[in-house]
Amino acid sequence: MASSTDVTLFHFPFSYYSRRVLMALYERQIPFIDKKINIFLGTQNEDWYLTMNPKGEVPVLKHGDVVVYNSTDMIEYLDDHIPTAITLLPPRDTQARKDVKEFCEFLNTITIDVITYGIWTNPERSTDGLSFILRNVATPKETVHRLSSLAVKLRQNAERNDSFKDYFISKSQHWETFVSQIKDKNVVAGCLDGLEAVFERAEELLAKSRTDALSQSSDIWLFEGRLTIADIYLTILIDRLVPLGVSRRYFNVNKNPNVLRFWKQVRERPSFRKLGRQTRMYGVRIIAPKVLRRAAPVLMGMAMVGVAVGLFIAWRRT
């Protein structure tokens, strides 16, 4: 039987779904072997990785001989098989667990990649402006060109790799469709509009939690008066929206104020602060000086310096 020390996480530190699992591991203080998959260099498309995960996605969790792909399944698996003093889901066969998982599934309907790249390539959709890093990484035109080139490269891989030919063709088609989506302003606008319902629901749950709290100074959480997987999902969503410059569209002192209170509260959580330090250090030490130079020639010169400086400033503020 595998022990808790046999946990390995294959992930990319800036991946939306990887960050969910990382925060869960940090929150529960589960030791794990950290294997970073550099998606900028296409590591997820290498044969050894596709053999482990035929979808070529991050993250992947291994516990002994068990391999888990979906981020929700990973966190649930860890809760059920790696006992610690902290759990992130209510007991099985309870209404509370059903409610938590229902909220998580609601958040899973968000097309976060379309939102991310849609705002990046249509910066006028950013109400507060893109972060310093995103403004200096690549122009909208360069981003679209790079994604379109990726689709072409994947088709070339399909011609050279019979073992995973179907995978590369499928991925190429995915990126072709994806590029058309992020270029369509109506599609991007629709995805952003859809977030309104998410934050309205979060506000309802947090307002109820605040009412049920013993005092107005108590921490507020979505369910059970404690942090659960649902809170991690909401945290990682907000963490993605902030650098895109759209978070204040959904919550501020006048609109969904309990979400704002939640965000201020969770930012001080040790697990979230550790997540921020680890990913920003990775960006400074690996991405800025090495990866982006090889993967994206357009990022040379001042743009490269901008990425490194911006990541360093963000890291120091965490």
CATH of the domain at 80: 3.40.30.10
Domain that holds residue 13: 1-88
Tell me whether residue 311 is in a domain.
Answer: yes
Average of pLDDT values for 62-81? 96
pTM across the whole model = 0.89
Tell me whether residue 158 is in a domain.
Answer: yes
Same domain, 124 and 237: yes
**Lowest-pLDDT range of 80-89, 90-99, 261-270, 292-301:** 292-301
Same domain, 199 and 254: yes
* % of the chain beyond a pLDDT of 90: 74
Tell me whether residue 106 is in a domain.
Answer: no
Tell me whether residue 34 is in a domain.
Answer: yes
Q: Which are the contacts of 189, defined by CB distance < 8 A and separation ≥ 6?
A: 125
Same domain, 215 and 293: no
Based on the structure, what is the number of domains in the chain?
3
Whether residue 310 has pLDDT greater than 70: no
Same domain, 25 and 117: no
**Lowest-pLDDT range of 34-43, 159-168, 208-217, 227-236:** 208-217
Same domain, 119 and 259: yes
Same domain, 36 and 143: no
Same domain, 131 and 254: yes
pLDDT score at 206: 96
Same domain, 152 and 252: yes
Average of pLDDT values for 30-46? 93
Same domain, 181 and 312: no
pLDDT score at 139: 82
For the range 252-261, what are the long-range contacts, defined as Cβ-Cβ under 8 Å and sequence gap of 24 or more?
A: 256/199, 256/200, 256/202, 256/203, 257/203, 258/203, 258/206, 258/207, 258/210, 258/220, 259/199, 259/202, 259/203, 259/206, 259/234, 261/206, 261/210, 261/220
**Per-residue pLDDT tens for 16-29?**
999 999 999 999 99
Same domain, 241 and 289: no
Same domain, 67 and 119: no
**Lowest-pLDDT range of 140-149, 221-230, 240-249:** 140-149
pLDDT score at 300: 40
Same domain, 13 and 82: yes
Domain boundary residue, one of 53, 88, 123: 88
